Amino acid sequence: MGIRERTWEIVEAGKPGDTASRVFDITILTLILLNVVASIAGTVQSVHERWGELLEAFETISVVIFTIEYLVRMWSCVTSPRFSRPISGRIWHSLQPISIIDLLAILPFYLPFVGIDLRSFRVLRLFRIFRVAKIGRYYSTLNVITDVIRSKREELVLTSILMSFLLVISASLLYYCENAAQPELFSSIPATMWWSVTTLTSVGYGDMYPVTVLGKLCASVIAILGIGMFALPTGIIGAGFIEAIAKKKEQQQVCPHCGKEIH
Per-residue pLDDT of the chain (263 residues; tens, 9 = 90+): 688 888 888 887 556 677 888 888 888 888 888 887 887 788 788 888 888 899 889 988 988 998 998 999 999 999 888 888 889 999 998 998 778 878 877 877 776 666 655 555 555 555 555 544 444 444 455 667 777 888 888 888 888 888 889 899 999 999 999 999 999 999 999 999 999 999 888 888 888 999 999 999 999 999 888 887 877 888 888 888 888 777 776 665 655 555 555 55
- Asked if the domains at 3-135 and 136-263 fall in one CATH topology, the answer is no
User: Which one, of 127, 227, 218, lies nearest residue 177 by Cα?
Assistant: 218
User: What is the reported pLDDT for 136?
Assistant: 42
Q: What CATH fold (topology level) applies to the domain 136-263?
A: Helix Hairpins (1.10.287)
CATH of 3-135 among 3.20.20.140, 3.20.20.70, 1.20.120.350, 1.10.3210.10: 1.20.120.350
- What pLDDT does residue 131 have? 47
pLDDT at 137: 40
Domain locations along the chain: 3-135, 136-263
Given this model, what pLDDT does residue 180 score? 92
